[in-house]
Structure 1
Amino acid sequence: MSGLEAAAEKQFWFFYAVLAARYVVIAGLAFWVFYVLVPQKFARRKIQELFPKRKDYVREVGYSFCTFVIFALIGVVLSSDQVKPYTQIYSHVSEYGWGYFGLSIVLALLIHDAYFYWTHRLMHHPRLFKLFHLTHHRSVNPSPWAAFAFSPLEAVVEGSIIFVVAVLIPIHPVAIVLFLLLMTIYNVYGHLGYEIYPKWLVNSAVGKWLNTSTNHNMHHKFFKGNYGLYTRLWDEWLGTTHAQYDQTLAKLVEPAPPKEHLQEA
């Protein structure tokens, strides 16, 4: 094995370890709180009444760890001398300043939001669904572990967003790390199985455009509509929001009635 190959292998395992650790910590914490520690406390916020079965959790974790093989390989390719020169990845924050550093993360999220909507909707095409997306949709009632439960082909599609971002905008490696961290957090939230956003947020001028766990859970349940990731902009613009979304969300975020009222009833 040449020195270059050894370095690439070491880099692969570093990326894989980071991806796996991030998933275990974020998805694991969400699962522990909502599914093990105090599920009864959030019972009113459970989107689907039933819980996934143990075999569902095992499947979701297994496919997720396979996904990280693809993601780690994508990271190695992006970092290689053959590909990196064709990107706009820069090394020193001073080149663009801290203001742009923060803006680049927001831009990356917006680019990803558009990329996800269109690739997601495309993978629902009858000729592509079984090959690309069926694995993920085996989680009809997803748990946090389902966040990265992709087939190998879907993992390539999902992971390739980093190439798109790095080519379209100047971005610092640390900004990429923060972008991917936010992506993971929101992806786990989308598969949480509970709606944790408060009523005031989802009804606010900005909050009503945010994607919710309810939105994505309904996508898993019904297989149609609600294709967005971070926002509902594309779904609203193109009329792909599920017809029962607003009604379903409203019931979940409605505050619990006072205890006195329950006692009287």
Structure 2
Amino acid sequence: MPLQIPIDKIIETSRVLLSIAGRYLVFAGAFYFFFYVWRKRAYWQAKIQQRYPENKHIIREIVYSFITILIFGAVIMLVIYASKKGLTRIYPNISDKGYAYYFFSIGLMILMHDTYFYWTHRAMHWKTLFKLMHKTHHLSTNPTPFAAYAFHPLEAVVEIGIVPLIAFTIPYHGTALTIFSLYSLLLNVTGHLGYELFPKGFARHQLFKWHNTSTHHNMHHRLVKCNYGLYFNIWDRLMGTNHPDYEKSFEQVVEKRIKAKGAETLLPDELATE
């Protein structure tokens, strides 16, 4: 007897997949169009690596990202199912715990994910796991925004693992998890942007140095064994895994951008692609 899936389950699954895919395309597509197409010449000096990836690399990033989206959708559907069965710690109304906890929970999710990402990321740099799953993401040595979800399927499972971890451990409202997801995607896309947008002195400032930059993650893709953090530069500083030239590299990129501001930008063909 053929397996019959209720139409409402198909509709709900399709809605989840379209939501994840839509967000990815809007965020990654918008940043890519602005920096790699429309304002390509104007922002050339802000490009961390002074070359652009070939189209075949961008296509690879998009293909792997859509495989990731399918895996993300499957795990999220399982969490939704568990929530309907009362197995997660979701609560229905913001008033149940108040707005103070609502905003606190979003910050807590971000801190949980930053810690989860750092340590799972470092684990995936263990030689065996790197070859098995993480090497796929590192094929983007000069990443674009589309690399945000360009994972091996096994790594995609690890990456989305933060959602069930949150759902089963802390009380949360559905919209709080949505806001966290949007924040995560935005920081992931800008981390893979390939352009440095933060101002001079940011990476050395007493307060702001604890937040990561595009230069920080770009160096990780290029140099591999350093700069493992996601949102913040806390764990890398505590564990001594920042690249020793990170702050210097950041300042060099920003200085070049500042000096070129207002000047005509030349984009030689030989520097345009890798």
Tell me if both proteins adopt one fold, taking TM over 0.5 as the criterion: yes
SS across alignment from 2:86: helix
Q: Is 122-131 or 252-261 further displaced after alignment?
A: 252-261
TM-score of the aligned structures, taking structure 1 as reference length: 0.93
SS across alignment from 2:43: helix
- 1:256: which partner in 2? 258
Contact 2:203 2:247 in 1 (8 A): no
Q: CA–CA distance in 2 between the matches of 1:108 and 1:220?
A: 25
Q: Is 222-231 or 194-203 further displaced after alignment?
A: 194-203
Deviation at 1:16, TM superposition (A): 0.7
Corresponding position: 1:196 with 2:197: yes
Q: CA–CA distance in 1 between the matches of 2:151 and 2:225?
A: 18
- 1:90: which partner in 2? 91
Deviation at 1:15, TM superposition (A): 0.9
One-letter code aligned to 1:205? Q
Change (3 A) 1:261 1:109: closer
Deviation at 1:197, TM superposition (A): 1.0
Q: CA–CA distance in 2 between the matches of 1:231 and 1:182?
A: 13
Contact 1:105 1:178 in 2 (8 A): yes
Q: CA–CA distance in 2 between the matches of 1:70 and 1:259?
A: 43
1:21-36 maps to which residues of 2 (within 5 A)?
A: 21-36=22-37
- 1:45: which partner in 2? 46
Aligned residue pairs total 261
1:141-156 maps to which residues of 2 (within 5 A)?
A: 141-156=142-157
Runs (4 or more) in structure 1 with deviation over 6 Å come to 258-262
1:1-265 maps to which residues of 2 (within 5 A)?
A: 2=4, 5-81=6-82, 85-199=86-200, 201-254=202-255, 256-257=258-259
Q: CA–CA distance in 1 between the matches of 2:263 and 2:147?
A: 38
Contact 1:102 1:175 in 2 (8 A): yes
Q: CA–CA distance in 2 between the matches of 1:251 and 1:81?
A: 49
One-letter code aligned to 1:162? V
Q: CA–CA distance in 2 between the matches of 1:234 and 1:18?
A: 31
Unpaired runs of 5+ residues, structure 1, are none
Q: Is 83-92 or 61-70 further displaced after alignment?
A: 83-92
Aligned-CA RMSD value: 2.0
Q: CA–CA distance in 2 between the matches of 1:149 and 1:260?
A: 35
Contact 1:12 1:75 in 2 (8 A): no
Deviation at 1:201, TM superposition (A): 3.9
Contact 2:83 2:90 in 1 (8 A): no
Q: CA–CA distance in 2 between the matches of 1:225 and 1:21?
A: 32
Contact 1:78 1:84 in 2 (8 A): no
Q: Is 68-77 or 41-50 further displaced after alignment?
A: 41-50
Q: CA–CA distance in 1 between the matches of 2:49 and 2:116?
A: 28
Contact 1:135 1:151 in 2 (8 A): yes
Q: CA–CA distance in 2 between the matches of 1:134 and 1:155?
A: 13
SS across alignment from 1:219: helix
Map Cα deviations across residues 48-103 of structure 1 (whole Å, 9 max, x no partner): 01111000110000000110000000111001147863321111101111121111
One-letter code aligned to 2:147? A
Unpaired runs of 5+ residues, structure 2, are 265-274
Deviation at 1:202, TM superposition (A): 3.6
TM-score of the aligned structures, taking structure 2 as reference length: 0.90
Change (3 A) 1:259 1:94: closer
